[in-house]
Amino acid sequence: MKANQNSLYILMISIHGLIRGKQLELGRDADTGGQTKYVVELTRALARRPEVGQVDLVTRLITDDSVSPEYGKPLEALDQNARIIRIDAGPGLYIPKEDLWSHLDAYTDELFGWLHRQPRLPDVLHSHYADAGYVGVRLSHLTGLPLIHTGHSLGRDKFRRLLALGLSVEDIQHRYKMSERISAEEDVLNSASLVITSTHNEIEDQYELYDCYTPEKMSVIPPGTDLNQFHPPTGEEASVGFFGVLSRYLREPHKPMILALSRPDERKNIVSLLEAYGQSKRLQQLANLVIVAGNRDDIRELNDGAQNVLTELLLVIDCYDLNGLVALPKHHSASEVAEIYRLAAASKGVFVNPALTEPFGLTLLEAAASGLPLVATEVGGPVDIIGNCNNGLLIDPLDEASIASALLSILEDQELWSKYSEHGLTNVARFYSWEAHAKTYLEKLTALIDQNRIAARPAPLAKAPAVQTRTRAIFTAIDNTLLGDPEALAMFVKVIREQHRRVLFGISTGRSLNSVLKILKVHSIPMPDVLITSLGTEIYYPPQFTTDISWTHHIDHWWTPQVLKRIVDPLPGLTPQSKDQQSRFKVSYYYDEQLAPSMEDILTMLRQHEVSVHTTLSFGQFLDFVPARASKGQALRYVANQWKIPLERVLVNGGSGGDEDMLRGNTLGVVVATRHREELAQLSETQRVYFAEGSHASGILEAIDYYDFFNL
Ligand SMILES: O=c1ccn([C@@H]2O[C@H](COP(=O)(O)OP(=O)(O)O[C@H]3O[C@H](CO)[C@@H](O)[C@H](O)[C@H]3O)[C@@H](O)[C@H]2O)c(=O)[nH]1
Ligand SMILES: O=P(O)(O)OC[C@H]1O[C@](O)(CO)[C@@H](O)[C@@H]1O
């Protein structure tokens, strides 16, 4: 760790795919492609800057025989002040990004713990893609650190394009978990201080689809490409190994190559290119078609998306009887990619990207740097790239005739081919370099950190006594969870009294402090060590009931209750709760589900007004709004961190919607059998949440046995 107090420490978060410092396995699968390359090259470029002391690229630890053991190393040095950190959360197996959603709370808790074991916290968090955005939002709320986000590919844009292709909503949801992804993207756009895009087009046409659309927070900083790796042909192309591979497929391998290179994902729309080629005898006379679509052994072992793409390609090749004209190589190595581009350039071919939507398109930079003219989708980043480089033609990805005619117009016009090839070589170096990217990035970052330091709260005061013996904690809500069964409550109280030296006892409730104190008295419940009240917006330490002021400062961030009330008050089916339920950081309503808008519609409205709040519905009737950084779960993590009690030894009892985020992640959750626990049904797939048979306090006693809590 080289970051001293003056130099910048940047934490990149990019969770899915296979990430390592060398020989990236790009194209190996749907999750290892442009983003994995982008984050490694960005990390290296930033680490080279004098202002930067340390850059850590955080991803996921993968221990799986089907991939290299390198991905199971918790730490990999990238450069002298850049590292890859692999966090062990969720299954060790290499699973598709779409299956990571239920593991991201645990990932957040593990990364939060790792950060607090380092010599210093980062100056900024930078999340990449929806899954890292989910983690980044929660870490930013917990730590108060500013969040930068880069989407790389956006769910709403992909969803819209796949619908246009004819896929059903159910099919898209099944394959791509699109609702979890879009919800996470909306949240990160709501919480990030800065969004870095690669093109203006992303801001105008892609991010514009989101409820939380904040172009003023967005900056276009185009990525670079490695001009040492990607360069024009050297003249020996015919002798390279891959030419031999392609020759196996091609009757006349020396003809010009139409080259497509992308992950085998439906969004890449490769089949439309093949259809365009299959329908054009002229194209088939002029050129071969080379499709590099990832690496595969057996198509039947690939995930659904890739399987569909490759199967359809083989069927279309057969339908037009294109054997001898089309090459669909099964394998290629990372080092062969640059050779493939050069082979196509040496053959006077064309690179084509027919994607339904291409957020940016790193392959276009690589092709241009190799001297290849481009034919690319008019949807997304290629608009900017070809606009800057003037090195090719844009096409409508759903119009196969336009793809064919664009290809013909370049292949049949040697002058045009040379013009586009030269423009590409000149302009890719001019517009797309990582050094320029890193310089602009740091200018934006410095401004962001300065403004955040001004607003930053005083350092959290040490709350826990210097030496404390508690090695574990029990936190419980009150209504329908702790209360409701006097006998069980008496037994639970007995356990708390017996274990009091080892166990921190806390209450975490939506009620106010006064209301809690009355209940403790009436039910003869021993005074807890910590009181988290008003839905995680207030933290008190008995017996003096000192307020945790640093928590108050921490949550008072982007909190605009007046704006919130102007949006929510007029809505049907919502009635403000009584004054004693309202507080400085809590706005509460009674919710009538017959009359009120759905929760999703309310969240959408708030995002559209850029209101960043934490919203919960409890017991089907209590609708509560608190600051984004406040909630039972965030307050609980703050306290556990102060008292140095690992979340794996914090037993948390809940029963309604407001308890959800303290039950998620690494805490030991128990949902007691209450009438409204269906509000927590989505937690049933989370491995650390136990749905008790017993109700009220007996459910907590059951969970103590289930987790063997006192012997952990
Ligand atoms: O079989 C393959 C397929 C891809 N690649 C490489 O993988 C990368 C693919 O990047 P890109 O063309 O940008 O596509 P995506 O993988 O879809 O990347 C996402 O993230 C990129 C970085 O933000 C954006 O440029 C894209 O638009 C976005 O879809 C390139 O370096 C390719 O050379 C291979 O090496 N072999
Ligand atoms: O096409 P999708 O599902 O939006 O995902 C894009 C994928 O390409 C990548 O660049 C691969 O690294 C990642 O951004 C992501 O896994």
Q: In this predicted structure, what is the pLDDT of residue 465? A: 62
Inter-residue contact 353 to 241 (CB < 8 Å): no
Whether the CB of 129 sits within 6 Å of ligand 2: yes
Token pair of 364, please?
A: 């276009």
Q: In this predicted structure, what is the pLDDT of residue 657? A: 85
Per-residue pLDDT, averaged over 486-513, amounts to 95
Per-residue pLDDT, averaged over 475-499, amounts to 93
Question: Rounded to whole angstroms, how far apart are CA atoms 112 and 128?
Answer: 17
Which one of the ligands is nearest to 380 CA? Answer: 1
Q: How far is the CA of 339 from the centre of ligand 2 (A)?
A: 24
Whether the CB of 34 sits within 6 Å of ligand 1: yes
Coil, strand, or helix at residue 194? strand
Interval 173-194: pLDDT, tens: 999 999 999 999 999 999 999 9
Whether the CB of 97 sits within 6 Å of ligand 2: yes
Q: Which residues contact 592 (CB under 8 A, 6 or more apart)?
A: 573, 574, 575, 621
What DSSP string describes 276-320? HHHT-HHHHHH-EEEEE----S-GGGS-HHHHHHHHHHHHHHHHT
Q: Is the pLDDT of residue 463 over 60?
A: no
Q: Which residues contact 312 (CB under 8 A, 6 or more apart)?
A: 271
Whether the CB of 366 sits within 6 Å of ligand 1: yes
| Atom in ligand 1 nearest the alpha carbon of residue 265 | 17
Length of the chain: 712
Question: Rounded to whole angstroms, how far apart are CA atoms 629 and 554?
Answer: 7
- What's the Cα-to-Cα distance from 647 to each of 141, 472, 504, 669, rounded to whole Å? 17, 8, 12, 10
Inter-residue contact 689 to 653 (CB < 8 Å): no
Whether the CB of 153 sits within 6 Å of ligand 2: yes
| Atom in ligand 1 nearest the alpha carbon of residue 380 | 27
Whether the CB of 38 sits within 6 Å of ligand 1: yes
Q: How far is the CA of 88 from the centre of ligand 1 (A)?
A: 26
Quickly state the pLDDT bin for 14 (edges 50, 70, 90).
very high
Angle at 365 between CA 361 and CA 370, to 5 degrees: 140
- Could you give the strand order of the β-sheet that contains 587-591, starting from the edge strand earlier in sequence? 574-576, 587-591, 622-627, 613-618
Whether the CB of 149 sits within 6 Å of ligand 1: no
- Judge whether 8-224+435-453 and 472-557+629-711 match in fold: yes
Ligand 2 pocket test: which of 153, 181, 198, 309 has the largest number of ligand atoms within 8 Å of its C-beta?
Answer: 153
Q: How far is the CA of 261 from the centre of ligand 2 (A)?
A: 14
Q: Is the pLDDT of residue 103 over 50?
A: yes
The amino acid present at 505, given as its one-letter code, is F
- State how beta strands 587-591 and 622-627 pair: antiparallel
Kindly state which CATH superfamily the domain 472-557+629-711 is placed in: HAD superfamily/HAD-like (3.40.50.1000)
Q: Which residues contact 469 (CB under 8 A, 6 or more apart)?
A: 501, 502
Residue nearest to atom 4 of ligand 2 (CA): 153
The question of ipTM being above 0.85 is answered as yes
Q: How far is the CA of 230 from the centre of ligand 2 (A)?
A: 22
Q: In this predicted structure, what is the pLDDT of residue 677? A: 76
Inter-residue contact 553 to 591 (CB < 8 Å): no
Interval 626-653: pLDDT, tens: 999 999 999 999 999 999 999 999 999 9
The amino acid present at 173, given as its one-letter code, is Q
Whether the CB of 14 sits within 6 Å of ligand 2: no
Residue nearest to atom 11 of ligand 2 (CA): 33
- What's the Cα-to-Cα distance from 8 to each of 139, 192, 219, rounded to whole Å? 18, 19, 20
Interval 344-373: pLDDT, tens: 999 999 999 999 999 999 999 999 999 999
Question: Rounded to whole angstroms, how far apart are CA atoms 103 and 62?
Answer: 13
Q: How far is the CA of 251 from the centre of ligand 1 (A)?
A: 29
- State how beta strands 194-197 and 218-220 pair: parallel
H/E element, 180? helix 178-191
Q: How far is the CA of 186 from the centre of ligand 1 (A)?
A: 23
Q: In this predicted structure, what is the pLDDT of residue 2? A: 61
For the chain, the domains span: 8-224+435-453, 237-430, 472-557+629-711
Per-residue pLDDT, averaged over 389-410, amounts to 97
Task: Quickly list H helices, 456-548.
Answer: 486-498, 513-522
Whether the CB of 384 sits within 6 Å of ligand 2: no
Which one of the ligands is nearest to 30 CA? Answer: 2
Q: In this predicted structure, what is the pLDDT of residue 462? A: 46
Q: Is the pLDDT of residue 451 over 80?
A: no
Q: Is the pLDDT of residue 455 over 80?
A: no
Whether the CB of 337 sits within 6 Å of ligand 1: yes
- State how beta strands 613-618 and 622-627 pair: antiparallel
Which one of the ligands is nearest to 266 CA? Answer: 2
Q: Is the pLDDT of residue 461 over 70?
A: no
Mean pLDDT value across the chain: 94
Q: In this predicted structure, what is the pLDDT of residue 1? A: 67
Q: How far is the CA of 357 from the centre of ligand 1 (A)?
A: 13
Which one of the ligands is nearest to 97 CA? Answer: 2
Q: In this predicted structure, what is the pLDDT of residue 604? A: 93
Whether the CB of 112 sits within 6 Å of ligand 1: no
Coil, strand, or helix at residue 166? coil
Kindly state which CATH superfamily the domain 237-430 is placed in: Glycogen Phosphorylase B; (3.40.50.2000)
Q: How far is the CA of 332 from the centre of ligand 1 (A)?
A: 15
Residue nearest to atom 35 of ligand 1 (CA): 26
Dihedral over Cα of 20, 360, 366, 147: its sign? negative
Q: Which pTM was predicted?
A: 0.93
Q: How far is the CA of 123 from the centre of ligand 1 (A)?
A: 29
Domain boundaries 8-224+435-453, CATH class: alpha beta
Which one of the ligands is nearest to 202 CA? Answer: 1
Question: Rounded to whole angstroms, how far apart are CA atoms 142 and 635?
Answer: 9
Token pair of 78, please?
A: 């990238």
Token pair of 289, please?
A: 């078609």
Ligand 2 pocket test: which of 100, 263, 270, 358 has the largest number of ligand atoms within 8 Å of its C-beta?
Answer: 263
Interval 303-359: pLDDT, tens: 888 999 999 999 999 999 999 999 999 999 988 999 999 999 999 999 999 999 999
Q: How far is the CA of 144 from the centre of ligand 1 (A)?
A: 33
Q: Is the pLDDT of residue 59 over 80?
A: yes
Coil, strand, or helix at residue 42? helix
Question: Rounded to whole angstroms, how far apart are CA atoms 491 and 705?
Answer: 14
Question: Rounded to whole angstroms, how far apart are CA atoms 138 and 152?
Answer: 20
In this structure, of 181-195, 451-465, 504-518, 696-710, the range with the lowest mean pLDDT score is 451-465
Q: How far is the CA of 385 from the centre of ligand 1 (A)?
A: 15
If one compares 462 and 453, the residue with the highest pLDDT of the two is 453
Question: Rounded to whole angstroms, how far apart are CA atoms 351 and 331?
Answer: 19
Per-residue pLDDT, averaged over 495-517, amounts to 95
% pLDDT > 70, the chain = 97
What DSSP string describes 407-435? HHHHHT-HHHHHHHHHHHHHHHHHH--HH
